[in-house]
Amino acid sequence: ALTYDPDFNHLYIGTGNGSPWNQKIRSPGGGDNLFLCSIVAVDADTGEYKWHYQTVPGETWDFNSAMDIVSVDLEIGGHPVKTVMHAPKNAFFYVLNRANGGLISAMPFAKVTWASGVDQKTGRPIEVAGARYEDGEVTTWPGPTGAHNWQPMSWNPATQLMYFPYHDLPGYYNDTGIRPAQWRAKAHELHVGVAFGAEDAPADTGSSGILAWDPIRQRAAWRRENTGVINAGTMTTAGNLVFQGLADGRFVAYRATDGETLWTYDARHGIAASPITYELDDRQYVAIPVGWGGGISMLGGSLAAQHGWPYGAHPRRLLVFALDGAAALPKTPPPVFVRPADDPSFAVDPERAKRGSALYVENCAWCHGPGVVSGGGAPDLRASPILFDRKALERVVHEGERVARGMPAIPSLGEEQLVAIQHFVRWRAREDLKAAQGSASTP
């Protein structure tokens, strides 16, 4: 995130997390690891450092602060204060003095277990013992998706409220068996320094909603639950409205003062992007790109697949609205839910499947989803016929047959490694088919 402040000629930069996530590997001596997970203020003309505020010193959970930074003048304690507001992944809403980066307040806006609060004097989080998976594993709220991610928030000067999507989704961190001194990342492989991406999460693992946040009182003015776990950013207007697109394909207008739903439109495809409004020839328009995407479609697994937007099944569109708009959407397929394919003649080798699990996480999970459940950002390999044909698999992975469609060639995967991944995917598909059949037969 970048925000320009004409009052001070500052550029505010929201920074990312460390790589690998695990600080025991990245920085075994500890330390704050500046300037990870920070807002950094620099002179807009020269780049000269002015101040910084670090939301998560020595970060080890993927709690980056690359979310939007909003510059607003607030009336605090009877006096006008030039502030910046920030709701990063770590689940705390920050109000800072934008002249010097001093902390004014920080309060949780979602479920948070890694810290009990933020120390008002030092500005540092008060971490909960064990949250850094000192003993090898821990489950915390939020997890690596954060409590608020990149989806933008919007400020309404009339209501004096900030509107943004939030989600309560835990994270499991396990570095048991990892030896920090020997750990090395490898090219083309997903390595974050903790166990990650091996198992799919059930569709009901988390919850989400939209918040109207009062930054002066540091509390919610209202909140409404939404479908799924990741929904789009917001836009608020002078007409006392807040617009938001949802993962299930609905485009919604809420009343800004109390959150009542005033209007809903079925866009017939998941919405990940935020709307804008503009005026042309004295007529106001609202526009929104419609199409399922973002990190949730790549790494969401069943959390994303529950909406029925598999890879390539639905058209992506830019929809534009006006008060007198009368256009209708072209015919669009309904939600589609992937069913794993199977070939009873394929004999799964349990040992190969076990080796293939780790190889899948390192090479495939980032796009094709944890537990081989695609959230829609790439094909679901459980249903892909290519995974039945060794030669076809080699053409795609080794020779780059589908580079033009976004699938990179990975020649570093040896033949036996590729076969192990094939056996893992076939085992995963078969297990999921059994589970689905068992669920269907349950009275």
Contact at 8 Å (CB) between 55 and 94?
yes
**What's the rounded Cα separation, in Å, for the pair 443 and 285?**
50
Tokens 């709690």 found at: 63
Identify any residues that bridge with 264 across adjacent strands, giving them in sequence order.
252
Q: Order of strands across the sheet with 103-108?
A: 69-76, 79-86, 92-97, 103-108
- In single-letter form, the type of residue at position 245 comes to G
Pairing between β-strand 79-86 and β-strand 92-97 as defined by DSSP bridges: antiparallel
Cβ neighbours, 10 Å, residue 416: 10
Angle among Cα 14, 19, 21 to the nearest 5 degrees reads 95
Which is the catalytic residue, given 5, 32, 62, 432? 62
My answer on whether omega of the bond before 330 falls inside 30° of 0, hence cis, is no
Active site residue 7: no
Using H for helix, E for strand and C for coil, what is the string for 185-205? Answer: CCCCCCCCCCCCCCCCCCCCC
So which residues are the catalytic ones?
Answer: 62
